Amino acid sequence: MPVSSLPSGVEQYREAGVRLEDVDADAVVAVRPTGFASGYALAQHPLTTIEVDALPDDVRASIDELADVEIGAFEVVRIGGDRNEPADHSLSEY
């Protein structure tokens, strides 16, 4: 599912990092690779957060069916990026 198809609740890059800092770690579910190809794809994907409440009902049901977690128990879905990367400062910080 392309994140660009979601109407709201999606943040990327710096805004996603800020969102992750604001939410309890237990409220975040991360998309993880299941093999080399998916690992490569996720590594190329920018840090993205998606509000669970913003996911369409059919997507939430599909995740619940396929994953080992109940998506409703979380607040944010994290995709891609590495939070340990050096900060990419913007001019607004100076």
Domain spans of the chain? 8-82
pLDDT tens digit sequence for 37-87 = 988 888 888 899 999 998 889 888 988 898 888 899 999 999 887 645 555
Task: Say whether 72 sits in a helix, a strand or coil.
Answer: helix
Query: Which among 1, 7, 2 is positioned nearest to 51, based on CA atoms?
Result: 7
Report the C-alpha gap between 76 and 24 in whole angstroms: 10
pTM of the full predicted structure?
Answer: 0.76
Q: How many CB atoms lie within 10 A of CB 39?
A: 12
